[in-house]
Amino acid sequence: MSLAVEHDVSLKPFNTFGIDVRARAFVEVHDDAQACAALRHADAIGQAVLLVGGGSNLLLTRDVEALVVRMGSRGIRQLSEVQGQVVIEAEAGEPWHPFVLATLAMGLAGLENLSLIPGTVGAAPMQNIGAYGVEIKDVFHSLIALDRHTLQTREFSLADCQFGYRDSRFKREPGRWLILRVRFRLARHAPLHLDYGPVRQRLQQMDIQAPTPADVSAAICSIRREKLPDPAELGNAGSFFKNPLVPAALAESIKADHPDLVAYPQPDGQTKLAAGWLIERAGWKGFREGDAGVHRLQSLVLVNYGQATGAQLYELAQRIRADILSKFGVELEMEPNLY
């Protein structure tokens, strides 16, 4: 199969930070056959492969000496429905938020809390994306992925994916699996997840007493637009740091000095801390050095004001991590994948 492989391509349009690095080779694939052909091509010329979806979870710090494969496949279909439980399949290249809106238009609940997250369907399981009390694993059915080693397709169940907090088997085995399509278990009628205070508050402000999934989606979109910059206007990758899990004793020690600490006890006895609170309390909110900075409204978000390099953003992230460790004894972990 003929592939439209390009050479010396700027990746600025393909990462939401807007970092202008070059790819030695680049190809966009639209179906399984093209995906296989791209991997065979990389093997034939002895090149590594970097898989890219929407580029919303990627920090590029240098030119890419590899074949960049961008998933451009599209398609949404219903596979089954049993007693109001519906399995929906989407191709990996589908943009995430339009896919969420499509499921809501079909009268399905489950993805509304994950509205307005940037990226693609194929990238969502990699990171086990989550927001406002819901993660991919909560609505996941299965996925189909191509094995980079054997060029065979494999179906992954929920257990096979080994999902964790912003983590999965696919993230821990970088470059091994090319996700082709993902299936979700949604419902005609399901309890809404309204446990996060801002969601209930926004629904009240909207004068909605009996919210639908579409109402919840609209409320969350409203909240996110107020708090998070649009990557089309200001380069960013959303939340840059994970909320750290720490021993309960450490959380209590921090709380003794900072009674307003934002912390969530976990079933396993650990405590999840709000990374944004730690960064803001340490004084980094709104910090800017050149074109690399921390967003003025949301301290979890690192931003590119125009010409920042990936290396500059990474160096800023390392300074923040070192400061949080020094001040609170807490080690922050980056969410984006680093290249």
| Cα(79)–Cα(89) distance, integer angstroms | 7
Q: Where are the alpha helices (DSSP H) in 80-142?
A: 96-105, 124-127, 136-139
65 is catalytic: no
CB 77 within 8 A of CB 34: no
Nearest CA-CA partner of 236 in 296, 302, 190, 333: 302
Asked if 239 is an active-site residue, the reply is: yes
Question: What stretches of the chain show up as alpha helix (H) in DSSP?
Answer: 32-45, 96-105, 124-127, 136-139, 158-161, 169-172, 197-205, 213-227, 248-257, 275-281, 310-328
Q: 126 and 170 in contact (C-beta within 8 Å)?
A: yes
CB 186 within 8 A of CB 139: yes
183 catalytic? Reply is no
28, 112, 166, 202: the catalytic one is: 166
Catalytic residue, from 89, 94, 112, 335: name it.
Answer: 335
Residue type, 309: T
Write down the catalytic residue from 202, 239, 281, 299: 239
List residues with catalytic annotation: 166, 239, 335
